[in-house]
């Protein structure tokens, strides 16, 4: 087994103060038996014994022998270089390899929070490597809650990756709604030779929500329309998950921000609330 190191991420500047985090899922891809390609069918996952956790994939066997396939676990080109740069979760050793000869996908299902805890949201982090310039940008990450429709996540983060070839990079703080039956899918519908490592989900607990969101102030969202109750002062500001302000308005009872579907944070004076449009 690979050694694991706990990473305390810096919390997005506009989220509520007093936040604690639990690691609710972590997959380091272990140490494969074959450096340049352990058959994914034979790999022993970190969470193999975890109740409810399952791993699935789609792949093509380019050699007709089913010995490796186009998605497998490798230990060459490990993620240790991220550790040198201060990313404490970089475990090195094994990583999941997506060959560029076919479209591939890898899904982790049945993820739930720690029993007895209530989470405001999950945040996802992972390492990613592209063999050729721009390969990393071809990765697609999606989630589904209780088997519902797939929703794209990490789109902006992946688009912001460097285009240099042969370089491990780190993505963190990708917001995912809290769920007791979450699936996360990594896929390469556009061909590219990509690796991922150290897939981690943090469960975020807040200890100060009631102080920032008094009961007499309420924000609800329905059909992309925000309805505000109990507010008397303050402008309405909406920020995306990267912390960029994307919408402002004077205070109104109903507001239609006309933003793309996704997760946002609304700020009205000292009021903060995470919303999904």
Residue 10 has pLDDT above 70, yes or no: no
Task: Say whether 59 sits in a helix, a strand or coil.
Answer: coil
Distance between CA 243 and CA 225 in Å, rounded? 21
- Region 109-123: mean pLDDT is 86
Per-domain residue ranges of the chain: 19-206, 213-276
- Residue 15 near residue 173 (C-beta atoms within 8 A): no
CA Rg value for the chain? 20
Q: State residue 62's pLDDT score.
A: 62
DSSP structure string for 175-220: EEE--SSEEEEEE-SS---EEEEEEEEEEEEES-HHHHS-TT-EEE
Q: State residue 29's pLDDT score.
A: 96
- Region 90-96: mean pLDDT is 91
Task: Say whether 137 sits in a helix, a strand or coil.
Answer: helix
Confidence of residue 63 (pLDDT cuts 50, 70, 90): low
Q: How many CA atoms lie within 13 A of 276 on its CB side?
A: 8
Q: Domain 19-206 has what CATH class?
A: mainly beta
Which residues are registered as beta bridge partners of 174?
Answer: 124
Residue 208 has pLDDT above 60, yes or no: no
Q: State residue 109's pLDDT score.
A: 96
Distance between CA 162 and CA 173 in Å, rounded? 18
CATH architecture of 213-276: Sandwich (2.60)
For all residues of the chain together, what is the average pLDDT?
83
pTM flag (> 0.75): no
């Amino acid at each position: 087994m690979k050694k694991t190191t706990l990473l305390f991420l810096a919390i997005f500047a506009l989220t509520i103060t007093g936040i604690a985090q639990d690691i609710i899922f972590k997959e380091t891809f272990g140490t494969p038996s074959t450096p340049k390609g352990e058959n994914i069918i034979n790999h022993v996952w970190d969470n193999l014994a975890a109740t409810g956790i399952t791993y699935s994939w789609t792949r093509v066997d380019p050699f007709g022998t089913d010995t490796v396939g186009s998605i497998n676990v490798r230990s060459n080109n490990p993620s240790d270089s991220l550790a040198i740069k201060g990313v404490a979760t970089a475990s090195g050793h094994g990583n999941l390899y997506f060959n560029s000869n076919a479209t591939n996908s890898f899904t982790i299902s049945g993820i739930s929070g720690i029993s007895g805890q209530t989470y405001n949201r999950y945040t996802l982090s992972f390492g990613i490597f592209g063999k050729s310039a721009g390969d990393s940008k071809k990765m697609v990450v999606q989630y589904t809650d209780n088997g519902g429709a797939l929703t794209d996540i990490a789109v902006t983060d992946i688009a912001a990756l460097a285009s240099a070839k042969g370089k491990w990079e780190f993505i963190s703080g990708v917001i995912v709604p809290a769920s007791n039956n979450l699936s996360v899918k990594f896929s390469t519908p556009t061909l590219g030779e990509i690796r991922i490592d150290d897939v981690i989900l943090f469960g975020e607990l807040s200890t100060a929500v009631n102080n920032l969101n008094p009961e007499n102030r309420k924000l609800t969202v329905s059909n992309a329309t925000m309805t505000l109750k109990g507010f008397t002062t303050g402008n309405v500001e909406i920020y995306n998950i990267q912390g960029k302000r994307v919408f402002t308005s004077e205070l109104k009872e109903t507001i239609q921000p006309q933003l793309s579907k996704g997760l946002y944070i609304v700020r009205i004076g000292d009021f903060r609330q995470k919303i999904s449009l």
